Amino acid sequence: MAAVFAAAALVLAATGCGGATGAGSATGEVTSITALDYYTDAAEHAQWSERLTTCGKAAGVTVEHTSVPGASLIPKVLRRASSRTLPDLLMLDNPDLQQIAGTGALTPLDQYGIDADGFAEGILSAGTYKGEVYGLAPTVSTVALMYNKDMLSEAGVAVPRTWDELKKAAAELTRPGRYGMAVDANATFEGTWQFLPFLWSNGGDEKQLDSPQAAQALQLWVDLVKSGSMSKSVLNWTQADVHDQFVAGRTAMMVNGPWRISALNKAENLHWGVAPLPVRRTGQALVTPLGGEVWTVPHTASKARQGKAAQVLACLNDPPHMLALAKQNLTVPSRSAVAARYAQQVPSMAAFVKSVEGARARTSELGDKWPKAATAIYTAIQAALTGEQTPEEALKRAQQTATSP
């Protein structure tokens, strides 16, 4: 795939940004394009507007940037896809790309000669549908183990690297008013997202949810709750709730992402660290899910506008912009070489950079059938943690649900 991109790659020498030429190339007639995303937070919207403006100038256009709430983005896109009235540049959460590309609403990026060299394989796959790349993510994210340094030091507990070490550490860190470990196990895709590293790293697969490897992963969470090392309230906690518990000193360790770092740094007298999530046994490779958004060029009525949008997309994914976005938003650059430099410059992100090396797109195995499996997984988590079913029983039902017509 990288070779295909490389063969087609062109350089915009005047701008220093990745090029977009060929059919639908830029013409003097196009002076503005539109961009749509779900960055409705005022600060985040302003940051992206600034970045889009910069890349728009490099491409010779102004970018009219609009944001809508996340829940309304996909319905809006689906309504406008058939009429070819989508924006010129469209941001999608990476698991949604499969569904939208499947409608024929997006254009393959290789036709614009966009440089995708150096992207990690898992990150490229997040923007790929049926062998063609339709979206690129300037930066990505994933989850890791965050821990309270003072609590671990006082208890004489080392940062756990295996599941057995995790259970032992969580038990030793638990005391009245404090749990050793916290996860988000709620009945949403967030709950599934947090469970995936344990499932995948143990050799489990969403195509076969009733496997022994999947049951072992779910049993770990059950054991943590049953032992009292993890609160039963994790069944209802969001990732934000888990963060709040950690900051308040009510849990010593948690699974969470780099989007929490800014708030952690503002917490007074909180000394925290971050490490890759533990695996079941030494030697297993850690596999975490990829978070982040891909930028795409939809089919529109104007080939010239598509060409300009592709130039802006390429610019967003150039190393300098990628690095700037990562530092600004505490995410991981998608090009491996840029990520390595970033880890040295921002040490608190080093564990996330390492975890991204082996990260996997949630849709890599099931494509647009992923949401059904994700729902079955979080339903099984709920059933097992409440004691309604054993992990084996819950996952057997999950497999039946995920594969039913």
Q: 257-278 in b/e burial notation, b at 16+ Cβ within 10 A?
A: bbebbeebeeeeebebebbbbb
Structure tokens at 7: 């063969």
Per-residue pLDDT at 253: 98
pLDDT in tens, 164-190: 999 999 999 999 999 999 999 999 999
Question: Using CA atoms, how far apart are residues 129 and 91, in angstroms rounded to an integer?
Answer: 16
Burial class (CB in 10 A: 0-12, 13-18, 19+), 328: middle
Residue 18 has pLDDT above 60, yes or no: no
Pairing mode of beta strands 144-148, 272-275: antiparallel
* Contacting residues for 76 by C-beta, under 8 A, at least 6 apart: 36, 68
Distances (CA, A) of 68 to 64, 77, 82, 85, 92: 13, 11, 20, 16, 12
**Chosen CATH of 144-288+365-403 out of 3.40.190.10, 2.60.120.560, 3.30.70.3450, 3.40.50.300:** 3.40.190.10
Domain segments of the chain: what residues? 2-141+290-357, 144-288+365-403
What DSSP designation does 278 have? Answer: P
Question: Using CA atoms, how far apart are residues 232 and 185, in angstroms rounded to an integer?
Answer: 9
Q: What is the DSSP string of 218-260?
A: HHHHHHHHHTTSB-GGGGT--HHHHHHHHHTTSEEEEEE-GGG
pLDDT in tens, 228-275: 999 999 999 999 999 999 999 999 999 999 999 999 999 999 999 999
Average pLDDT, the chain: 91
Question: Using CA atoms, how far apart are residues 267 and 133, in angstroms rounded to an integer?
Answer: 41
Q: Is the dihedral of CA 267, 163, 152, 230 positive or negative?
A: positive
Please choose, from the candidates 296, 309, 300, 299, the residue with its C-alpha nearest in 3D space to the C-alpha of residue 58.
309
| Coil, helix or strand at residue 194 | helix
267 neighbors 150 (Cβ within 8 angstroms): no
- pTM of full prediction above 0.85: yes
pLDDT band at 368 (very low <50, low <70, confident <90, very high): confident
**Chosen CATH of 2-141+290-357 out of 3.30.365.10, 3.90.79.10, 3.20.130.10, 3.40.190.10:** 3.40.190.10
Structure tokens at 346: 């921002």
Distances (CA, A) of 40 to 69, 79, 93, 385: 6, 20, 14, 34
pLDDT band at 83 (very low <50, low <70, confident <90, very high): confident
Q: Which helix (H) or strand (E) holds 64?
A: strand 62-67
Residue with tokens 């909180």: 270
| Coil, helix or strand at residue 159 | coil
Whether 144-288+365-403 and 2-141+290-357 are alike in CATH topology: the answer is yes
Q: Around Cβ 403, how many Cβ atoms within 10 Å? A: 15
Distances (CA, A) of 85 to 90, 181, 300: 12, 48, 6
398 neighbors 195 (Cβ within 8 angstroms): no
Question: Using CA atoms, how far apart are residues 136 and 134, in angstroms rounded to an integer?
Answer: 7
pLDDT band at 28 (very low <50, low <70, confident <90, very high): low
Q: Which helix (H) or strand (E) holds 383?
A: helix 370-385
Q: Around Cβ 109, how many Cβ atoms within 10 Å? A: 27
Residue 26 has pLDDT above 80, yes or no: no
* Contacting residues for 293 by C-beta, under 8 A, at least 6 apart: 37, 91, 92, 93, 94, 137
Q: Is the dihedral of CA 80, 84, 89, 93 positive or negative?
A: positive
pLDDT in tens, 263-303: 999 999 999 999 999 999 999 999 999 999 999 999 998 99
Instruction: Please report, as a single letter, which amino acid is at residue 227.
Output: S
What DSSP designation does 320 have? Answer: H
313 neighbors 16 (Cβ within 8 angstroms): no
